[in-house]
Structure formats: C-alpha cells, structure tokens
Amino acid sequence: MDRSALIDRLIAVCGERGVFHTRSDLMVYEYDGSVDGSVETALPVAVTLPTSTEQVAEIVRIANLAGLPVTPRGAGTGLSGGAVTQDGGIIIALTRMDRIIEIDREDRTALVEPGVINLELSETTTPLGMFFAPDPSSQRACTVGGNVAENSGGPHCLKYGVTSNHILGLEVVLPNGDVVWTGSTPAGAPGYDLTGAIVGSEGMFGIVTKALVRLTPNPQSTLVQLAAFPDLDTASTAVSRIIAAGILPASLEMMDNLTIQAVEPAYHAGYPMDAGGVLLVETDGLIEEVAALGEEITAICKNSYATEVRSATEKAQRDLLWKGRKMALAAMGRLSPNYYLHDTVVPRSQLPATVARVREIGDEFGIEIANVFHAGDGNLHPLMLFDRHKPGDVERVLGAGKEIINWCVSVGGALSGEHGIGTEKRGYMTMVYTGEDLAAMAGLRNAFDPGGRLNPGKVFPKGYSCGEVRALRAQAIAQKHDIHPV
C-alpha cells in the first residue's frame, strides 16, 4: 500500500480532521515531554485521532495491511520517549476519546475513555464524594490512558498506590484489531490478571479504549504541613523518622533550595527562600486522627532541626502549597533554558547518602542540579539544568544522568519510579536484568503482540530483539547446566 492510498484509507475511517499527514503537522508529534537530548525524535507516517473503539480497531487493521507499526499516544506529557515513533509508522492519538461514560456512586467506580484528563476526572467526582487517587504532577494535562500505559504514580501514591491499584478492568484493542475486555469488578476474581499485565506495559500489549477505574472516598479532613530545614540532610532524616514512627502520610514531598528559588518568585506559594530544603507533608482521614498526626509530625520535624513548621487546613492554602510543588518543573525556566528530569528510586534509608552523591555528581560534571523528591517512597527527580545550545552541555548532562542511575542501582534502587523505561532508559535495563529476565519479559510481550508492531523500540535495549533475548536465555541456561554444543 503506497502512502497516498494509506492516507485515503485512514481518512475514510477518521475523517479529514482526524488524520494529520503533512510534515508541519507531524513535527508536533516527534517529541513527548522529553526534549532534552535524552530521547531520540522521530516522525510518524501519519497521526490519527479516532473517536471510538471501532475506529481504533480499524486503524490497527489498516496498519497491519500496510506492514506499519502503531504507537498509541495520550497527551504527550510522558518523559521517557514512550509515545515517540522510533520505527516510524502510525500514531493513534486518543485525546478525542475523552468521555466519562458512567459514574457508579454505589460501587465507587467510573467507566472512562482513555483521553479523559486525570484532574478532570477527580473534579467531576469530588462533589459526589469520591476522587481518582493517582495524581501525577502533570495531572492537569495527562490522560487516564497514558497513566495506564506508564502505571503513573504521583505525590499521593505513598498512601494510595499507583495507577495499577485503581484499575479494575480495561477494554483493549489487540495488535490484530480484535477488541477484548480484561478484568472484572469483583476484587480477587479467578484467572490471570491480564489487566495488571497491561497496566504499565507502555503501549506494547494493546491499545486501551476504555478503563473501569476505582474511585476513593473523599477524606473527612486534610492537613498539609510545610516544614523548612537548614539542608537536605536534616530534611531526609525527618522523612525517615516520620515513616519509622508508623505514620503513613498521604504524601511526603521534598524540595531543595534551588527548586525553591525557581518556584517561590513564580507562584508565591509561601516557601521560605532561605530554607536548604522543605518537606510538604499531607495527612488525611478522620478529623481527630489528622489533628493528632499533625502534632506528631510537627514534633518529629522540630526534633530533626526544622527551622519552621506551618499547617494549612483551608483548601485555598493547601492548593497554593501544592501548586508550588506541582508547577516546579514549569518554574525551572527561570533558572535555565533547559533541564533534564531524571526519575529513579532508592530505599528511604539511602536518601541522605543519595542526596550527597547527586550533589557530588553535579560538581563533577559542572552542572547545577535542582532536586524534587517523592521522598516518602524514595522516588527522586533530579533536575539537571543546562543550555542545549552551549557546546558540551548535553553530553555533560547525559553523563551525569548515567552516574545518578549507576549510584541508585548500586544502593538497591530501581531504574524508574513512575516515568517508565521507553527509549530513555532501555540501555540501562541490563544493569538490573539478566538475559533470562529480559527473555521472560519478551515472552509476555510476544503473547500479546507476536509481530512486535505495537510501540516497537521501547523498553528492550538496542540489539536485544525478542529473538536475540531468547537466544541469550538459552545460552544462560546452557552455561548454568554446563551444556556444550556438539
């Protein structure tokens, strides 16, 4: 099928306004949220914007006939290259499938299409006494479908868990164009957890066209506390002490002074400009419980050398403090023309040492690093500041990023806390996974997509095609059992 015939077929499915195919239109889709040099850009052959499951299925069938890969895409806020068409092909952008189909107040669920904006779902359900707990910092723009693909977290995942904890079932278009439903409403239903396999699969198993999500009751009371510290070491100590005391905050966030210098002049959230670091601690629950926890957290912070602890009980005050935290990335433009945001995880006990090592890495590579943490679960977001037009800056930043990953893995951490692997971290997979591990992952992927046409070029390292990974596994087994070829 030549390109002209392909475009005609796609237009017949989605209409003229539902297909982008000129170079100027396609350039918008060569990126995701990463534009720092860590992720390769690529132009798709076409971008489709379907409005129904049937259209998605038909686009997949057309792609199969044309021998082209397909990449599903949400709002494009991802930070690991997951929605970039590394091997060309067709992008299926799901942003026009944005209906909240049904809200079940009795069972506390909502049936939604993948293009529903994360925050808008909670804004719709909160007056009904419920909210959607996963809340990535990009929740004003990111979509539920993208959250499912990346198993997104956010500040409140410390208490409420990541996206996979809130997905009950999925409607999915498979790589051959068939439409299936996975999961069921009853928790613990028998059978394989296909829903759990698809959440976090980065668009490589199928294309989600509907999601049945779990809604969480609104808490009776919410308290946000801002604690200022002379440095990140004392702030990190307070984090460990809060968790060690058996307290499980809804969220426990940390920011360093460099981040405060960017955020406070922009949003006037009330962060003290002279603090070496601040903690943002949110607790929720019954009124009496929250009040008691607030007093205990205040005492722990003051005993950990906090210079100031403030409490915000009114919604407007809480929202302002959270605005400063969630808009931290946007504020970085005040400090530098570009930044590279990393996403990695260490055990909480390793936070002080990791903070110190990140500072050393910045000095070694001659770059400034601002730090924003989901401190409660050890999820780091170092923001490496640079100028992409300055010779050598991109290389220094990528080198520093690799050193940060090396350190975090060496102290028992993980490659990613919530941004996914995509293309950004696929080259690091062999740092933590053996050939057998990768072969098992490839086998699961092959069960869903034996042709490898859904979002190819992601997760698995370059040079590690599914066939090559199987060969590595066979080699590893042979060596383990001392089997030699005849």
- The reply to whether 390 falls in a domain is no
- The reply to whether 375 falls in a domain is no
| CB-CB neighbours of 307 under 10 Å | 16
Residues 6+ apart with CB under 8 A from 295: none
Residues 6+ apart with CB under 8 A from 189: 183
pLDDT of residue 122: 97
Task: Tell me whether strands 46-48 and 90-93 are parallel, antiparallel or unpaired.
Answer: parallel
Question: Helix, strand or coil for residue 463?
Answer: coil
Cβ atoms of residues 332 and 291 within 8 Å? no
pLDDT of residue 331: 94
Segment 359-365 shows an average pLDDT of 97
| CB-CB neighbours of 348 under 10 Å | 18
Q: What percent of the chain has pLDDT over 90?
A: 86
* Residue 180 pLDDT exceeds 80: yes
* Same domain? 204 vs 226: no
Q: Where residue 173 sits, what CATH number does that domain have?
A: 3.30.465.10
* Residue 188 pLDDT exceeds 70: no
Cβ atoms of residues 54 and 438 within 8 Å? no
Query: What is the pLDDT of the chain when averaged over all its residues?
Result: 93
Total domains in the fold of the chain: 4
- The reply to whether 135 falls in a domain is yes
SS (H, E, C) 74-91: CCCCCCCCCCCCCCCCEE
* Residue 484 pLDDT exceeds 60: no
Residue with tokens 């989600």: 208
d(CA 223, CA 251): 11
Q: Read off the pLDDT of residues 47-72 as tens digits, 9 standing for 90 and up.
A: 999 999 999 999 999 999 999 999 99
Look up the pTM and report it: 0.92
* Same domain? 273 vs 328: yes
* Same domain? 202 vs 225: no
Q: Where residue 42 sits, what CATH number does that domain have?
A: 3.30.43.10
Task: Please indicate whether residue 105 or residue 465 has the higher confidence score (pLDDT).
Answer: 105
- Confidence class for position 313, pLDDT limits 50, 70, 90: confident
Segment 309-316 shows an average pLDDT of 93
pLDDT of residue 31: 87
Report the DSSP beta bridge partners of residue 19: 48
| CB-CB neighbours of 230 under 10 Å | 15
Cβ atoms of residues 217 and 130 within 8 Å? yes
Out of 44, 75, 93, a domain closes at 93
pLDDT of residue 191: 84
What amino acid occupies position 474? A
Q: Read off the pLDDT of residues 19-34 as tens digits, 9 standing for 90 and up.
A: 999 999 999 999 898 7
- The reply to whether 403 falls in a domain is no
* Residue 431 pLDDT exceeds 60: yes
Average the pLDDT over each of 42-46, 397-401, 462-466 and give the range with the smallest value: 462-466
Region of 477 please: left (phi>0), alpha (psi -120 to 50) or beta.
alpha
| CB-CB neighbours of 443 under 10 Å | 13
* Same domain? 79 vs 112: no
- The reply to whether 411 falls in a domain is no
| CB-CB neighbours of 259 under 10 Å | 26
Q: Where residue 253 sits, what CATH number does that domain have?
A: 3.30.70.3450
Residues 6+ apart with CB under 8 A from 450: 175
Residue with tokens 């918008």: 28
* Same domain? 329 vs 239: yes
Distances (CA, A) of 46 to 81, 173, 207, 376: 18, 19, 17, 42
* Residue 35 pLDDT exceeds 90: no
Q: Read off the pLDDT of residues 117-142 as tens digits, 9 standing for 90 and up.
A: 999 999 999 999 999 999 998 999 99
d(CA 372, CA 276): 13
* Same domain? 244 vs 265: yes
Segment 221-242 shows an average pLDDT of 95
* Same domain? 225 vs 213: no
pLDDT of residue 477: 62
454 DSSP 8-state letter: B
Task: Tell me whether strands 130-131 and 216-217 are parallel, antiparallel or unpaired.
Answer: antiparallel
Cβ atoms of residues 439 and 469 within 8 Å? yes
- Confidence class for position 87, pLDDT limits 50, 70, 90: confident
d(CA 205, CA 203): 6
Q: Read off the pLDDT of residues 432-458 as tens digits, 9 standing for 90 and up.
A: 999 899 999 999 999 999 999 999 999
Task: Tell me whether strands 338-341 and 368-374 are parallel, antiparallel or unpaired.
Answer: unpaired
Domain residues for 184? 100-217
* Same domain? 190 vs 239: no
Structural tokens at position 419:
């941004």
- The reply to whether 351 falls in a domain is no
- The per-residue b/e assignment along 102-134, b for 16 or more CB within 10 angstroms, e otherwise, is ebeeeebbbbbbbbbbbbbbbebbeeeebbbbb
* Residue 299 pLDDT exceeds 60: yes
* Same domain? 184 vs 210: yes
Out of 35, 65, 93, a domain closes at 93
* Same domain? 112 vs 195: yes
- The reply to whether 20 falls in a domain is yes
pLDDT of residue 486: 39
* Same domain? 57 vs 32: yes
What amino acid occupies position 200? G
Question: Helix, strand or coil for residue 422?
Answer: coil
- The reply to whether 362 falls in a domain is no
* Same domain? 105 vs 185: yes
d(CA 44, CA 475): 36
Out of 335, 355, 377, a domain closes at 335
